[in-house]
Amino acid sequence: MRYFISCETTYAFREGPDFSIKFDMISMPPRHRKLLTLAFLVRNGVVPHEERHVLLGLKKRGFGIGKWNGFGGKVERTDTSIASAAVREIQEEANVQVSVEDLESRGVLLFTFEQSNEVMEVHVYVTEKFSGQPSESDEMKPQWYDVSRIPFNTMWADDRFWLPHVLSGKSVQGNFRFAADEDSLLDYELNVMTLTAV
């Protein structure tokens, strides 16, 4: 199946007078770019008319500790593709099995932090097809949330701007710049796109 992509909405926010954050993902030197994945498992309500749910994980250690998030991490040299890295991370962090073919790509987000020259390029995926019962791992504690009750106040500051679009079936591309404290979102650009089957 082929898809037609149309840009529906562009959002922007800027803190202070300087908003010069523009990235060319192709020309960016590889040493400044870090490839990562971020995947969200969704399911329909268990009873009729119940809301859909999204599986989030509470980060127990490392980068983002104490925050709820999707499941993902670094693309390793041994991964055969970015999507296969997402599959591996879901298995490691939530003890759930997903096939590469069942992952739906929902866009790419770029993140930078003040006082760092590294750019995090995060590939976002969604899937409704998985096997196994999510269970706690050394890194994440999974929990299902109604899509209308996502705990944005205990998530990364950028999530509230793009995650609802992703969970509604849209695709996103965005740039987000954080302060050195890793909590304060300084500015961002976000394009929301609609995927239409043709």
Quote the pLDDT of residue 143.
97
Output 130 or 16, whichever has higher pLDDT.
130
Residue 19: pLDDT over 80: no
What's the sign of the alpha-carbon dihedral 155, 159, 161, 165? negative
**Is residue 26 included in any domain, yes or no?**
no
Coil, strand or helix at 1: coil
How many domains does one find in the chain?
1
Q: Find out whether 156 and 63 touch, Cβ atoms under 8 Å.
A: no
Quote the pLDDT of residue 115.
82
**Is residue 27 included in any domain, yes or no?**
no
Residue 154 lies in domain: 3-14+34-197
Distance CA 22, CA 8 (A): 20
Residue 100: pLDDT over 70: yes
**Is residue 20 included in any domain, yes or no?**
no
**Is residue 168 included in any domain, yes or no?**
yes
pLDDT band of 17, cuts 50, 70, 90: very low
**Is residue 19 included in any domain, yes or no?**
no
Output 20 or 39, whichever has higher pLDDT.
39
State pLDDT tens for residues 118-151. Answer: 999 999 999 999 999 999 999 999 999 999 999 9
**Is residue 25 included in any domain, yes or no?**
no
Count Cβ atoms below 10 Å from residue 14 Cβ, excluding itself.
Answer: 14
Quote the pLDDT of residue 86.
98
**Is residue 21 included in any domain, yes or no?**
no
Predicted TM-score (pTM) of this structure: 0.83
C-alpha distances out from residue 71 to 3, 56, 58, 94, 121, Å: 26, 7, 10, 8, 15
Quote the pLDDT of residue 184.
92
Residue owning tokens 């706690």? 136
Distance CA 173, CA 93 (A): 25
- Closest Cα partner for 147 from 68, 44, 38? 44
53: CATH: 3.90.79.10
Distance CA 142, CA 159 (A): 17
Distance CA 30, CA 119 (A): 10
Q: Which pair of structure tokens corresponds to residue 72?
A: 């993902």
- Closest Cα partner for 161 from 57, 11, 19? 11
**Is residue 70 included in any domain, yes or no?**
yes
